[in-house]
Amino acid sequence: MVNYIWVGMMVIGFIVAGINGTMDKVNEAIFTSAKEAVTLSFGMISILVFWLGIMKIAEKGGLLEVLAILFRPIVKRLFPDIPKDHPAQGYILSNMAANLLGLGNAATPMGIKAMEQLKILNGGKNEASRSMITLLAINTSSITLIPTTIIAIRMSYNSQSPTDIVAPTLIATAISTVGAILIDRYYYYRSLPKGGK
Amino acid sequence: MAIVQSFSIWFIPLLIGFILLYGTYKKVPTYETFVEGGKEGFSIAINIIPFLVGMLVAISVFRASGALDYVMMAMRPLFSLFHIPAEVVPLGLMRTISGTGALGMTSDLIATHGPDSFIGRLASTIQGSTDTTFYVLTVYFGAVGIKKMKYALKVGLLADLIGFLASIAVISLLFYA
């Protein structure tokens, strides 16, 4: 999918440039934007190094587990299908905690482990279970406390206050996460009469 | 608004301070751990380069040729009907398909309009408030061999739409009401 979009943007661009007579601008754009991409990546090194260093301390100190305990009541409500004290709960909590802290690298392995457990709970079928879809919905709407990458980009473009989008992002993610959970519930109950169970 | 802004300013130092003190309390070798984690940050930044080069070049070709203007012009009436700025629509679509692609578009919007402009702030919020549905779906279900996704894709995409609309509403209300 990404491949078609990528090729499409380039090829359509070249064709339109041919018709419009803007081929000189396109030539210039190719090389200036490639250079800009590299400059941008280098500008992001500072904040990525700093933030991932701090987060490693949080991880080693066991803050993930502390967050997991705090969020236990919420998880029980979100995933009513999972038996009490099942290992899937721990993985889901760690996944949510890592997402919350913007630890994408930690969140994905935890999420996959949670999925493995949920598959076992679902009798090893190759079909998505209710809890699996809920977990996905929460992950795609990603509740994030600190959008690190965005702050880094804003900094490299000399923003007056690169962090002033933290609160709006928090509100918007909260809305999209609640929305995702409600939509998930809606489709689950709608699937009931037909699918049985 | 002042409260929101000072919350944003205070939040990061407080969080860092808390993590550092908690780590010290838990006898984590804080400085060594910081350095160890920081190394990962360096490799992530380097790994992003090819994604950014690929996407930024494609976007700038599309824009410099004038093709983007035609797309915007065609879509403007539809989106102005719902008070959606046409500039961020391609970002909203890309966000569901490719995280790095969307990152490229966000950087481009911030570079063009300025980080502290309405569009710049909006793009930042959209980028931060949803995750790449297709990626999450592929990775999580792919890893454990789920072939029947049922209603998962619908839920993911609708959640993206909500995040997109919520971003527009929140930025409009907080900064420009």
pTM of the model: 0.72
Most A CBs within 10 Å, among B9, B31, B65, B167, to test the A interface = B65
Report the distance separating Cα A185 and Cα A133, nearest Å. Answer: 10
Is the Cβ of B92 closer than 8 Å to some Cβ of chain A? no
- pLDDT tens-place string over residues A27-40: 999 999 899 889 87
Considering only alpha carbons, which residue of chain A is nearest residue B135? A140
Flag whether pLDDT at B7 surpasses 70.
no
- Interchain proximity A168–B23, CB inside 8 Å: no
CA distances from B17 to A162, B5, B12, B21 (A): 20, 19, 8, 6
Burial (Cβ within 10 Å: 0-12, 13-18, ≥19) of residue A196: exposed
* B143-150 mean pLDDT: 82
- pLDDT tens-place string over residues B50-62: 877 887 888 889 8
**pLDDT tens, residue order, chain A (197 aa):** 567 778 998 999 999 999 999 999 999 999 998 998 898 788 778 877 887 788 789 878 887 677 667 777 888 889 998 887 777 887 888 788 778 776 665 677 778 888 888 999 999 888 889 999 999 998 888 777 777 778 888 988 999 988 888 889 989 989 999 999 999 999 999 988 765 44
* B139-149 mean pLDDT: 81
- Interchain proximity A183–B60, CB inside 8 Å: no
- Nearest chain B Cα distance for residue A197, angstroms: 15
Is the Cβ of B158 closer than 8 Å to some Cβ of chain A? yes
- Interchain proximity A13–B26, CB inside 8 Å: no
Q: What is the ipTM of this complex?
A: 0.71
Of B60, B141, B166, the CB nearest to A176: B166
pLDDT-derived band at B34, boundaries 50, 70, 90: very high
Domain boundaries, chain A: 1-43, 62-191
Instruction: Give me the pLDDT at residue A131, please.
Output: 93
Count of A-B CB contacts under 8 Å:
362
As a whole number of Å, the end-to-end CA separation of chain B is 10
Instruction: Give me the pLDDT at residue A1, please.
Output: 56
pLDDT-derived band at B3, boundaries 50, 70, 90: low
Phi and psi at B27, nearest 5°, equal: 60, 35
- Nearest chain B Cα distance for residue A75, angstroms: 19
Flag whether pLDDT at B6 surpasses 70.
no
Percent of chain B's residues with pLDDT above 70: 93
Instruction: Give me the pLDDT at residue A102, please.
Output: 67
Instruction: Give me the pLDDT at residue B86, please.
Output: 82
Instruction: Give me the pLDDT at residue A2, please.
Output: 60
- pLDDT tens-place string over residues B9-29: 677 788 889 989 999 999 999
- Interchain proximity A153–B116, CB inside 8 Å: no
Considering only alpha carbons, which residue of chain A is nearest residue B4? A167
Instruction: Give me the pLDDT at residue A197, please.
Output: 45
Is the Cβ of B98 closer than 8 Å to some Cβ of chain A? yes
- Nearest chain A Cα distance for residue B75, angstroms: 17
Report the distance separating Cα B142 and Cα A164, nearest Å. Answer: 37
SS3 content of chain A, % helix, strand, coil (to 5): 80, 0, 20
pLDDT-derived band at B78, boundaries 50, 70, 90: confident
- Interchain proximity A165–B128, CB inside 8 Å: yes
DSSP A87-140: HHHHHHHHHHHHHHTT-HHHHHHHHHHHHHHHHHHTTT-SB--HHHHHHHHHHH
What is the residue-averaged pLDDT of chain B? 84
Look up residue B125 and give its amino acid: T
- Interchain proximity A12–B62, CB inside 8 Å: yes
- Interchain proximity B140–A136, CB inside 8 Å: yes
Instruction: Give me the pLDDT at residue B49, please.
Output: 82
